[in-house]
Amino acid sequence: MKLLRYGEPGKEKPGLLDSDGNIRDISRHVADLSDDALSPASLCQLSRTDSDSFPIVSGSPRLGPPVGDVQRMICIGLNYSDHAEESGLPAPAEPVIFVKSCAATGPNDDVLIPLGGEKTDWEVELGVVIGRRVRHVEEKDALSYVAGYTIGHDVSERAFQHERGGQWTKGKSCEGFGPLGPWLVTADEVGDPQSLDIWLEVNGQRYQNGNTKNMIFSVAVIVSYLSKFMTLVPGDVILTGTPAGVGAGTKPTPKFLKAGDVVRLGIQRLGEQQQTFVPYT
């Protein structure tokens, strides 16, 4: 299933995308796509319900983040060897963890270039959505705790990240820096998360072009690893790293985003996002 949330910011309703591309309102089945609604039992019940029984949503509403009330975006840094290489850093021996503390936004919402931002950068990432409480899970069982997958855009302000004391979180958490969506695609529909093409374009030029098979640490390894240090709960979103091709790694001169730039990004079987970057006002 392709699950989504539609409507004005803060007033989104849960929906699904049917086989004809229509948005169906599922709010009579679940209040929101969060908490217990992401459990295996809830998703199974929803999948067994005839989508034609849900009303069609008219028009072309705004899409919000496909997970409601995201409390944590837990990020994995340097998880593609080619990105570590372009960053001039060795491949990590264990997953590098940081937290993105901005609120999740819709996949096509405008993104603010932050006040004082000089090096705003792009990073397309596979997002993993946790469906049930997990702690100390073994790698072989880790994927059973995943409700589904989505696209995450880990927008980054490199000047804040690298030139203001070396703390990644403050370069990752500016307003609008957490686009998710368009959909939460359930794990059964995605299949193997380690065989997905992943790409990003800026103003029509392709900069990132990779595949999740090139992750240093797989989704199963990441979920298992995190569960040994923290309890993961339904609705947690894990951003699993980005392939080579970020602006900071562009040769011979790094390239960063400016007002008016349009970024389009996508992952195989998960859809596409598009954002326009706008000045801080």
Q: What is the pLDDT of residues 38-63, one digit of tens each?
A: 999 999 999 999 999 999 999 999 99
Instruction: Give every CB contact of residue 141 below 8 A, 6+ residues apart in sequence.
Output: none
pLDDT, tens digit, for every residue of 249-268?
A: 999 999 999 999 999 999 99
Side-chain-facing half-sphere of 206: CA atoms under 13 Å: 7
Instruction: Give mean pLDDT, residues 149-176.
Output: 91
pLDDT value for 102: 86
- Are the C-beta atoms of residues 29 and 23 closer than 8 Å to each other? no
One-letter identity of residue 10: G
DSSP 63: B
Q: Is domain 73-279 given the CATH code 3.40.50.720 in the classification?
A: no
Q: Where are the domains of the chain?
A: 2-53, 73-279
What is the rounded CA–CA span in Å between residue 25 and residue 23?
7
At 163, the pLDDT band (50, 70, 90 cuts) reads: confident
Give yes or no for residue 167 having a pLDDT over 80.
no
DSSP-based three-state secondary structure for 41 = helix
